Each structure stands twice: as structure tokens, then as C-alpha cells.
Amino acid sequence: MRVARSIGELTGLRAEVPAGHRVGFVPTMGALHAGHASLVEQARALTETVVVSIFVNPLQFGPNEDYARYPRPLETDLERCADLGVDLVFVPSVNDLYPSGRQVSVSAGTMGTVLEGAARPGHFDGVLTVVLKLLNLVRPQVALFGRKDAQQLACVQRMVVDLNLDVRVLGGETVREPDGLALSSRNVFLSPTERALAIDLATALERAAAQDTLTTALGAAHAVLDRAGLDPDFDLDYLAAVNPETFAEVASDAGGEVLLVAAAVVGGTRLIDNATLHLREPVDPPAVPRLPSPR
């Protein structure tokens, strides 16, 4: 495994990739877990060369968020990448990726201003800016992102379409603990009591996914989340049913595939999760017979 710690080193090592090899790319912020490993394995199955980036991106953190304390176990992450058979790891510095005088950023548009974007203004602009830079530098044929961050995945896929980027963006399934909690690098911040409370987010979505109408799905989720909200350490930010491609909220009588997304702050740690609902299609009301017009 090779490690590039600057753009110059990455450029040189990328040039050594054999002609004809497809490159799979997994961008991460480090603190790697089994969810990241599943993305690497997916990339390995699809391509001949796998590149992972490790970069805690300051542009996607707000002024009162956890950028300074975000876990950075770099040496452990590099060992894990080696064990997974990663070919190249890119570990840039902030100054290398964002040189002095930088002015241009990417806007996530309307999709980036709702739900997670409303709670964290500018977050998805920061995500897309760094993802575009990384895609330009790594030049992969395939890029993998986790479906747990569903709004991020949708924004990246929209950027690829709108900016005509020559890369295939795929989502990897959410990897969970045995009790259902979605894996996240931020889970390390949870105390044992908070972790037990955080499971309610996954439980609510699981129960919602078992329903066949949106009304009953939301009711099942709120039955769990409202009870969790009685604990002062659990603060539900949002629970919303959206179109998985546009993140526009859907009507209460929506049918087919709908994404239920949720976010909560548990003991000061922000957690997000989602579930795909397969809803019964609404039945059109019977046509009202037309009476003959009077003569």
C-alpha cells in the first residue's frame, strides 16, 4: 500500500496506475469502521485499483460543531486500509487541499438547504467542494459513498449529473451494530447510557419500514421517538418522508418507494439515520357516474 501525503505525491502515484485499470475511490474522514470497510470491499469487487482518502474537511463543519474533537486515529486507519488491501491512501493537509486565497466553492442548491442542510447551513456546500476536488485529483471511474448519509449521497449524485463528471457514484448499504445502531465515527462520543438511547433512532425507522402507508409509518416511528424524547438527553431534530433523489418532502398519501430520514442529538452527539419505505400505491376513488343532462 502506498500513502500520498500531498497533492504532488498523489499525482505521481496516480500516474503509476497501470493503463486500463479501473480506479475505485472511497472518500472518508477517517476513524474507519466496518461501514467504510464494506465500501472498500465493494470498490475492490468493481475495480482493479482502490484509493481511499482520509481528510477531516473543515468546510463541512459549522462554527459550533465538533471539527476540533473529531476522531483522527490516522495510524490505526492506515493499518486498517492495509489489511483491507487498499492500494493507495491520500492523506492531504488542510493547507495543501485549500491553499491561501481560495475563493471558489460548490453550491449544493436547494437540496442542500433542507433537513440536514437547514440544521447545518453550508454543510453540503463544503461536502461537494471537497468531493469535487478529490474526484478531480484521484480521477476514479467509480466512487463509493455510504447510504447512511443519504442526503450527502443524493447531493453528490446531483453534482455529478449537473457538472457532467465522468464518474459512477454508487451507494453502499448502511452497516449496523447487532442491536441496529448505524455505524458512525461519532458513536465513540456516546456514553453507555446515551448509546442505549441512540438505538431508539434505528428502532423507530425499523418499525416504520414494516408499515405499508406513510401515515402508519410515521405513527410507528413517532411512537418510539416521542417516548425517547422524554429523556432530556434525546432531542429529535427531524423526521421526514422524502423523495430519495430530490429530498423534497412527499405527500401524506404517497406510494411506492419513499425515504424516511431522521436526525437526533443524543447527549450532545448528532446522529442521522434513514430507512426505505415500500408503501402501498394509493387507490384511485371509483369514478362517479355521470347523470344524463336534463332535456
Catalytic residue IDs: 36
Is 146 annotated as contributing to ligand binding?
Answer: yes
β-pair partners for 270: 265
Is 35 annotated as contributing to ligand binding?
Answer: yes
Q: Concatenated DSSP letters for 4-43?
A: E-SHHHHHHHHHTSPTT--EEEEEE-S---HHHHHHHHHH
Is 107 annotated as contributing to ligand binding?
Answer: no
Place of cell 436526525: 263
Is 115 annotated as contributing to ligand binding?
Answer: no
Is 222 annotated as contributing to ligand binding?
Answer: no
Helix (H, G, I), strand (E, B) or coil at 143: strand
Is 111 annotated as contributing to ligand binding?
Answer: no
- Supply the DSSP symbol for 166: S
Is 184 annotated as contributing to ligand binding?
Answer: yes
> What phi and psi, each to the nearest 5 degrees, are found at residue 293?
-70, 140
Is 102 annotated as contributing to ligand binding?
Answer: no
Q: Which residues contact 35 (CB under 8 A, 6 or more apart)?
A: 146, 148, 172, 174, 175, 182, 183, 184
Helix (H, G, I), strand (E, B) or coil at 229: coil
Q: Which three cell numbers stand for residue 254?
A: 404517497
Is 263 annotated as contributing to ligand binding?
Answer: no
Is 231 annotated as contributing to ligand binding?
Answer: no
Q: Residues annotated as binding site? A: 29-36, 60, 146-149, 152, 175, 183-186
Q: Residues annotated as binding site for (R)-pantoate? A: 60, 152
Q: Residues annotated as binding site for beta-alanine? A: 60
